[in-house]
Amino acid sequence: MDPNPAPKAPDAGEAIAKAPPCTLVIFGAAGDLTKRLLMPALYNLAEGGLLDDAIRIIGVDHNPNTDEGWRQSLSDTMQSFTTDRTSEFHPEHIDPRAWGFVRERLTFRQSDFTAPETFSGLAGALTGNVIFYLAVSARFFGPIVDALGEAGLLKEAEGAFRRVVIEKPFGSDLESARALNTRILKRGAESQFFRIDHFLGKETVQSILAIRFANGLLGPVWHRDHIDHVEITAAETIGVEARGAFYEPTGALRDMVPNHLFQLLCMVAMEAPATLDAEAVRDEKARLIQAVRPIPLTDAVRGQYAAGQEHGHSVPGYREEPNVAGDSHTETYVALKLGIDNARWAGVPFYLRTGKRMAGRVTEIALHVRAPAASPFAGPDGAVAPDVLRFRIDPEQGLDLVLNAKRPGPRMDLGRVTAAFDYGDFFQETPSVGYETLLYDCMIGDATLFQRADSIEAAWAAVEPLLRAWAEAGVEAYPAGSDGPAGAEALLAREGHRWSPLGAG
């Protein structure tokens, strides 16, 4: 008998069906993503009773290891999360039953990602449903998909699925993204490829569609007639640290904008899909991204952190980080003004910003509502402070509506108030790293939260003018621990706007 049968799914609400049996083949088994995110996600799925008893997990990596060695090192890492408050996953304890379920289904193959024997070996070992997870450096995406195709591993026969999960970055510009799409789509159908954007695994991001389209209150104001401008922020306090080799040729624009920030943009700006069917949702997202006007150089600011402070400690500048050139022009910060050419949003500026080593860790979307055209409360400048609706995505999770109210007292004075909800006050928090839904959805074949080829290409097309111009351009310094470069304030000041403060982080 199986000593670690799948734990039971929770009773609350409608029971969620177990994913079908499959083999998950992880290329990059020794990598960071596997340890930090995929294993915790599998563990959480096992704890929720959502994995089939017959699931198998095969790790492939060129680093030497054995089945038992891999299992032990992952067990140690899982255990270490209980005392590491900085990890994405920090449970109080590891449930031995749920982890045992995952652990005993792990096997390891030391293989080269480019050697044909790797794939002929896998072909001999695999039957039925298989997910190939490419948790590897982007340069291996094309070669691995080719090799899977050559070995016949992507042929779907007798109802068995063959799927490939591709991590980011998907291409480094429009041309390379197109080339990669063309290359992989020679080997399988679009429906077999699951391009991940981990922001879509965040509950608070998925919830934006629910808040927008399941409530009657907000829809009527979601329009250029009522929304003055929108801010989308993904600010981090961490620096580039050990990731210099990846970050130097990448930079903040490629790392965050056409993927994560554009996904947030889609959630807040797309039209309502007719249904929640994957293609209906992805059609609307693609339409929205296609309506983003290519961003002119004058509407973009890039910055790079210099030495400064993080939480009271001195931290080095980007150019002092390991594997970074002493005269690097790579940006660690970007701020953009976007225009969307459609009837709903024409003329409404969407301001996007993201950066490392900033004053606070904040991911949020703020919609600034137009002030009433005339108000008995208007001050001498003829206006009242506009309302703001703020989706708090990370690390705070909730929604704020900032309004004007009467300040108690004999006079009719206004004060700013916030009507807020926190997810934790209403829903039981289940520890999650965001990859649970993505893995589960891939297993059940639901592509809603994955990026389709057309959206990826449209996003690269929108940022293409900047990629070209910035290849040669300089970069504005900002001190680590600050709000970013002065140019970013100036970008908004041009239209009388200001960024929301980042808080103390």
Q: Is 236 near ligand BG6 (CB under 6 A)?
A: yes
Residue 441's H or E segment, with its range, is: helix 435-444
Q: State which residue, 255 or 321, has the beta carbon closest to ligand BG6.
A: 255
What minimum distance in Å lies between the beta carbon of 192 and ligand BG6?
A: 23
Which residue, 361 or 370, is less far from ligand BG6 as judged by CB? 361
Q: Give Cα separations from 31 to 94, 283, 331, 343 (angstroms).
A: 21, 34, 26, 45
Q: How far apart are CA 44 and CA 138, in angstroms?
A: 27
Token readout for 1 is 């008998």
Strand blocks (E) in 151-209:
162-166, 193-195
Q: How far is the CB of 147 from ligand BG6 (least distance, A)?
A: 25
248 scored as a contact of ligand BG6 (CB under 6 A): no
**Is 32 or 104 the residue whose CB approaches ligand BG6 more closely?**
32
Q: Site for ligand BG6 (CB under 6 A): which residue of 255, 284, 321, 364? A: 255
Give the residue with the Cβ less far from ligand BG6, 236 or 441: 236
Provide, rounded to whole angstroms, the least separation between the CB of residue 260 and ligand BG6: 6
- Which residue of the set 198, 260, 311, 313 is catalytic? 260
Of 95, 150, 203, 394, the residue at the interface with ligand BG6 (CB under 6 A) is: 394
| Backbone phi, psi, residue 338, to 5° | -110, 145
Q: Shortest gap between Cβ of 343 and ligand BG6 (angstroms)?
A: 32
CB 68 within 8 A of CB 107: no
Min separation Cβ 208 and ligand BG6, Å? 15
Kindly state the smallest distance separating residue 134's Cβ from ligand BG6, in Å: 15
Residues 6+ apart with CB under 8 A from 424: 397
Residues near 135 by beta carbon (within 8 Å), at least 6 away in sequence:
26, 27, 28, 29, 31, 33, 34, 38, 167
The count of chain residues that interact with ligand BG6, using the rule CB under 6 A, is 5
Count of CB atoms situated within 10 Å of the CB of 461: 18
Instruction: Tell the smallest beta-carbon distance from residue 168 to ligand BG6 (Å).
Output: 6
Nearer residue to ligand BG6 within complex by CB, 118 or 259? 259
Pairing of strands 130-134, 308-310: unpaired
The count of other CB atoms within 10 Å of the CB of residue 247 is 24
For this structure, is 260 an active site residue?
yes
CA 71 to chain CA centroid, Å, is 28
Our CB check for ligand BG6 shows the closer of 255 and 364 to be 255
CB of 376 to ligand BG6, least distance (A): 43
Q: Which residue is nearest to ligand BG6 (CB)?
A: 255
- In the bound state with ligand BG6, the residue whose beta carbon lies nearer, of 105 and 390, is 390
363 binds ligand BG6 (CB under 6 A): yes
Give the single-character DSSP code of 276.
Answer: S
Q: Which two tokens stand for residue 66?
A: 């054995």
Would you count residue 364 as binding ligand BG6 (CB under 6 A)? no
Which two tokens mark 13? Answer: 């609400």
Comparing CA positions, the residue from 57, 67, 46 lying closest to residue 4 is: 46
SS3 content of the chain, % helix, strand, coil (to 5): 35, 20, 45
Q: Does 476 bind ligand BG6 (CB under 6 A)?
A: no
Within 10 angstroms of residue 287's Cβ, the number of other Cβ atoms is: 16
Handedness of CA 291, 294, 298, 300 (dihedral sign): positive
Least distance to ligand BG6 from the beta carbon of 150, Å? Answer: 30
Decide whether 260 or 368 has the Cβ nearer to ligand BG6: 260
**Contact pattern for ligand BG6 over residues 166 through 195, marking x by CB under 6 A:** --x---------------------------
For residue 425, the one-letter residue type is D
Joined tokens for residue 116: 């044909």
| Residue 201 near residue 342 (C-beta atoms within 8 A) | no
Indicate the residue among 163 and 356 with the shorter CB distance to ligand BG6: 356
Of 132-171, which residues contact ligand BG6 (CB under 6 A)? 168
CB 397 within 8 A of CB 425: no
- CA dist 108 → 6, 38, 121, 146, 242 (Å): 21, 15, 13, 22, 26
47 contributes a contact to ligand BG6 by CB under 6 A:
no
Q: Is the peptide bond before 169 cis (omega within 30 degrees of 0)?
A: yes
Distance CA 397, CA 404 (A): 23
**Residue pair 147/121 in contact by the 8 Å Cβ criterion:** no
| Cβ 135 to ligand BG6 shortest distance, Å | 13
Rank residues 129 and 363 by Cβ distance to ligand BG6 and give the closer one: 363
| Catalytic residue IDs | 260
Residues near ligand BG6, by CB under 6 A: 168, 236, 255, 363, 394
